[in-house]
Amino acid sequence: MSPADSSQRRQRGRPRGWHDKTEQNTIKSLDRAMAVFDHLSQGPGKALTALAEETGQSPATVYRILITLEGRGLVEFEPQEQLWHIGPQAFVIGARFLRRTSLVERARPILRWLMEETGETANLGVERETAVLFVSQVETPATIRAFFPPGTLSPMHASGIGKALMAQMDKPRLARVLRGRGLEAFTQHTLTDPALLGADLAAIRRRGYALDDEEKNEGMRCIAAPVFDMNGEAVAGISVSGPTSRVRREDVERLSRPVIEAARDLTKAIGGEPAD
């Protein structure tokens, strides 16, 4: 592709200086409108005066914004209670976003950041038939490293990502998973006692991350955190894995922080609702 062709392609999508977010390149009225729209979306319904007060804008300005958004179906007015609500077109637009959102695509830059931040291999996995299916990975350049190529399946009870997902399951679903796979021992550290596994899952929920402490492979540790969808359900997990010589027990707390941050970033990137 010639430089001219490249320039033309760039200009069709964004102008020169597209990254400039200074005031001269923003539309103030649109920014104010989006502030009102965003604030309205956070509650079950708002009165005009409350919206004006909470957004720091005059009632007249907020009214014009609402009437404009109403014309596009983005908000609607409930006359009996005199409240404004998010409209059906907001859902339609959100659904379009979800159709183009790919979990793997959104995760790639986050996985790369996580690998660079921790120095260890970063993984993305989802539940498949009571097992963890690894769907993406960014490997560390270190000579000794964990390797779970896309398509690899791992038992949930002996996997960092698996335990991060299990910790978010309700009791009936968790029971189905355990019945489907059982608690096979892979190393002397594998949790095969349901009571011990249950206590571990409770600890995972409290602290926000799971630890595979040589439970699947001797000499390897994995730290994982769950990724949530728009309904607040855990749909995937992000982890870092490495040899115990580098991922020492005293390093787990430090390494857990970027793992949790990466999981939260991916949750937001797919339009999900982060856990508390």
Q: Is residue 201 part of a domain?
A: yes
Place of tokens 């059906």: 88
Q: Is residue 275 part of a domain?
A: no
Q: Which of 98, 125, 148 is the last residue of a domain?
A: 98
228: CB partners within 8 A, 6+ apart: 234, 235, 267, 272, 273, 274, 275
Considering the domain architecture, whether residues 68 and 188 belong to the same structural domain is answered as: no
59-71 vs 28-41: helix crossing angle, rounded to 10? 80
Domain CATH code at residue 232? 3.30.450.40
Considering the domain architecture, whether residues 228 and 247 belong to the same structural domain is answered as: yes
Q: Which of 98, 122, 153 is the last residue of a domain?
A: 98
Q: Which of 83, 98, 113 is the last residue of a domain?
A: 98
Q: Is residue 172 part of a domain?
A: yes
Considering the domain architecture, whether residues 221 and 113 belong to the same structural domain is answered as: yes
Number of compact structural domains in the chain: 2
Q: Is residue 137 part of a domain?
A: yes
Q: Is residue 224 part of a domain?
A: yes
Considering the domain architecture, whether residues 147 and 176 belong to the same structural domain is answered as: yes
Q: Is residue 228 part of a domain?
A: yes
Q: Is residue 274 part of a domain?
A: no
Considering the domain architecture, whether residues 53 and 134 belong to the same structural domain is answered as: no
148 neighbors 123 (Cβ within 8 angstroms) = yes
Give yes or no for residue 249 having a pLDDT over 80.
yes
Asked whether the whole model's pTM tops 0.85, one would answer no
The predicted pLDDT at position 151 comes to 78
- C-beta atoms surrounding 99 within 10 Å: 8
pLDDT tens per residue across span 3-50? 445 444 444 555 555 455 555 666 888 999 999 998 888 777 899 999
271: CB partners within 8 A, 6+ apart: 94, 97, 98, 101, 229, 230
Considering the domain architecture, whether residues 155 and 179 belong to the same structural domain is answered as: yes
Question: Residue 81 sits in which domain range?
Answer: 3-98
Considering the domain architecture, whether residues 144 and 253 belong to the same structural domain is answered as: yes
Report residue 143's pLDDT band, with 50, 70 and 90 as the boundaries.
Answer: confident
* Phi, psi dihedrals of residue 134, rounded to the nearest 5°: -80, 125
Structure tokens at 61: 């300005």
Query: Which range is least confidently modeled, 142-151, 197-206, 227-236, 259-268?
Result: 142-151
Domain CATH code at residue 55? 1.10.10.10
The mean pLDDT value of the chain amounts to: 87
The predicted pLDDT at position 254 comes to 96
